[in-house]
Amino acid sequence: MDEESPSSRKSNEIEHKVYARVGLLGNPSDVYYGRTISFSLANFWATVKLQPSHHLIITPHPTHDLVQFSGLDHLVNRLQSEGYYGGVRLLMSICKVFYNYCNENNIELSRENFTLSYDTNIPRQTGLSGSSAIVCAALNCLLDFYKVRHLVKVEIRPDLILSAEKELGIIAGLQDRVAQVYGGLVYMDFNKDHMEKLGHGVYTPMDTSLLPPLQLIYAENPSDSGKVHSTVQKRWLDGDEFIVSSMAEVADLALQGQTAILEKDYSKLADLMNRNFDLRRSMFGDDALGSLNIEMVEVARRVGAASKFTGSGGAVVVFCPDGPPQVKLLEDACKEAGFVIQPVKVVPSYLNEDDLKTLPG
């Protein structure tokens, strides 16, 4: 039972909002010591709320963690469309990772307890990083509740978020978590030497106003990033030459993309985006990517736009080099195909003063 009065509970409540993210170039090479350019997307977000309480409670979400059904058919339909898991396991896992990290680094935590709850409007498992948005928002709540934000370096936080998902067997990389910890547009280099020496990549924030207008297409089409990645990851670990060299080329697209964006060379950006998807397709194969996901990319290409996945599948980021008339054509094509389309809104960097103090320099 919560022993505190509702009013004091309200005043002690901590809430954090973390946005979805778009992998603009280079993904999924972040999983393989590569490079990416990603940004946080204002269109969708997850929130996590922390209230002090007597016991430590993880509150299931009324719809994302459904455990009551109208009958067997409802239960089976639900499992078929959304799978077995919601966000509860993510919240539990970040609590464990946070606790262990603090113990190992002699960061003392007071013995107070809390209740965590979450909500999200990020379309589920669409490669918009709905999973790490929940984990990142929870980590932010824990950092503030235990007043240890200044003791846990910004650069290390994406690793903690990733560990929480790895703990659950989800195969994922760092780009989502970096974009979600930093906010804004970030160029990321996950070079093996840095990763081994520093324990994290090198992250360079970029000016979001350098980006041209972009569009987002998605479909209600849950796809599990872990499942999508498993075969390619195994082949990469086995040293499969085709995968190793293609992944290096994907990483190189982000390097070229950094220059293209800085120089506002948008026709180059369009070429790089298209090449990024073509390489993903040749590595993962059409079965793993799914016909609906491929169709989203192709709808955009049929109107002459550049397109690629934002993550491992479910949503696509599109650049229309010919401007508004081409966007209109794309909107019509998406409507006909039954896909949702929205203009991309980019979130500016959201590091606060305490966060910035933990960065070098």
Residue 31 binding result from ligand LRWZ45AK, ligand ADP, Mg ion, none, given CB thresholds of 5 to 8 Å by partner type:
ligand LRWZ45AK
Q: Are 253 and 272 in contact, with CB atoms under 8 Å apart?
A: yes
Residue 43 binding result from ligand LRWZ45AK, ligand ADP, Mg ion, none, given CB thresholds of 5 to 8 Å by partner type:
none
Asked if 207 is an active-site residue, the reply is no
Measured in degrees and rounded to the nearest 5, phi and psi for residue 169 equal 85, 10
As measured in angstroms, the least distance from the Cβ of 194 to ligand ADP is 24
- Residue 360 is encoded by which pair of tokens? 């070098």
31 touches ligand LRWZ45AK (CB under 6 A): yes
Phi-psi map region of 259: left, alpha, beta (phi>0 left; psi -120 to 50 alpha): alpha
Alpha-carbon distance of 25 to 30, in angstroms, equals: 10
The one segment of 3-11, 21-29, 322-330, 336-344 that binds ligand LRWZ45AK by CB under 6 A: 21-29
Residue with tokens 């599948």: 313
293 touches ligand LRWZ45AK (CB under 6 A): no
Nearer to ligand LRWZ45AK, 283 or 303 (CB): 283
34 touches ligand LRWZ45AK (CB under 6 A): no
Q: Are 175 and 127 in contact, with CB atoms under 8 Å apart?
A: no
| Annotated catalytic residue within 119, 176, 189, 355 | 176
The one segment of 116-124, 242-250, 278-286, 300-308 that binds ligand ADP by CB under 6 A: 116-124
For Mg ion (CB under 5 A), the number of binding residues is 2
Residue 64 binding result from ligand ADP, ligand LRWZ45AK, Mg ion, none, given CB thresholds of 5 to 8 Å by partner type:
ligand ADP
The one segment of 183-191, 197-205, 224-232, 337-345 that binds Mg ion by CB under 5 A: 224-232
**Which residues within the stretch 167-226 sit at the binding site for ligand ADP (CB under 6 A)?**
170, 172, 224-225
Residue 86 binding result from Mg ion, ligand ADP, ligand LRWZ45AK, none, given CB thresholds of 5 to 8 Å by partner type:
ligand ADP
Binding test (CB under 6 A) with ligand LRWZ45AK, winner from 122, 137, 152, 172? 172
For ligand ADP (CB under 6 A), the number of binding residues is 22
- Residue 312 is encoded by which pair of tokens? 């491992």
Alpha-carbon distance of 337 to 334, in angstroms, equals: 5
131 touches Mg ion (CB under 5 A): yes
**Which residues within the stretch 219-278 sit at the binding site for ligand LRWZ45AK (CB under 6 A)?**
225
Tell me the residue type at 319.
F
160 touches ligand LRWZ45AK (CB under 6 A): no
For ligand LRWZ45AK (CB under 6 A), the number of binding residues is 17
189 touches ligand LRWZ45AK (CB under 6 A): no
Q: Which of 133, 315, 161, 307 is nearest to 223 (CA)?
A: 315
Q: Which residues bind ligand LRWZ45AK (CB under 6 A)?
A: 23, 27-28, 30-31, 127-129, 131, 172-173, 175-176, 225, 309, 311-312
Catalytic residues: 176
Binding site for ligand ADP (CB under 6 A): 64, 83, 85-87, 89-90, 120, 122, 124-131, 170, 172, 224-225, 311
